[in-house]
A and B are shown apart, each in its own frame.
Chain A
């Protein structure tokens, strides 16, 4: 799986959009970008994934650059409950749940 680089931490104001960057410059053509988050010490929670096109669901939006070397997870209206560690993971979809977790980005949403 391709390696990813994320900033170690970031703060966000409640109600504002949170933009979380991820660099994956060595991504291969068949590798997807997945985002998970971990609140406190709970099990990681799936957020969203994409291959080439931008994706949106009820939780977030995922913007992938045209060259696929980086992406941004957008939490449109951050709430205090979005405080968590966010992990960007790149993997082949057929790899099942063999996930390689980096250090993630620790997001603190402030009132």
Chain B
């Protein structure tokens, strides 16, 4: 069972560079979301999507863009990386049925130097 797959697992960027974190799920889930987790902290919501073509901002959206062209994929784009974006990024998906628990990927550890 693949579940939620994030790539890459590790990435180092220079300040000002851009990149895309990939997230794919194979469970046909409508809901997908991106979180970041700073050291010693809980996860914070960046952006989320309730279906293909629909996205919205979470708690900490600045510096990030998302799009949802398919049900399976929900990429997160860093437009111009800053050291403050050094964090671990998690993608999650969930269905809309009665059991709406969220499934998380294994994370992408990003360092911006």
- CB-based contact B94/A43 at 8 Å: no
A91 nearest in chain B by CB position: B100
B28-44 interface code vs A (CB 8 A; 1 in, 0 out): 00111101000001111
- CB-CB contacts below 8 Å: B55-80 with A: 58-59
Q: How far is the CB of A104 from chain B (nearest CB, A)?
A: 6
B74-113 interface code vs A (CB 8 A; 1 in, 0 out): 0000000000000010101110100011111111010000
Residues of B within 8 A of A93 (CB): 100
What is the interface size of chain B, counting residues whose CB is below 8 A from a CB of the partner?
A: 30
Known A101-B43, A103-B41; judge A96-B31 contact (CB<8 A).
Answer: yes
Task: From A13-21, A44-52, A70-78, give the one contacting chain B.
Answer: A44-52
Residues of B within 8 A of A44 (CB): 43, 90, 92, 102, 104
The yes or no answer to B27 lying at the interface (CB within 8 A) is no
- CB-based contact A102/B42 at 8 Å: yes
Interface SS of B by simple majority: strand
Known A41-B107, A42-B107, A97-B93; judge A87-B100 contact (CB<8 A).
Answer: no
The yes or no answer to A81 lying at the interface (CB within 8 A) is no
**CA–CA, A80 and B31, complex, Å:** 33
- CB-CB contacts below 8 Å: A19-55 with B: 34, 36, 41-46, 49
**CA–CA, A46 and B102, complex, Å:** 7
Q: List 6 A-B contacts (CB under 8 A).
A: A34-B101, A41-B109, A98-B33, A98-B48, A99-B45, A102-B42
A contact residues vs B (CB 8 Å cutoff): 34, 36, 41-46, 49, 87, 93-94, 96-104
15 additional A-B pairs beyond A97-B31, A97-B48, A99-B43, beta carbons within 8 Å, are A36-B102, A42-B106, A43-B92, A43-B105, A43-B107, A44-B92, A44-B104, A93-B100, A96-B31, A96-B100, A97-B102, A98-B33, A99-B33, A101-B44, A103-B42
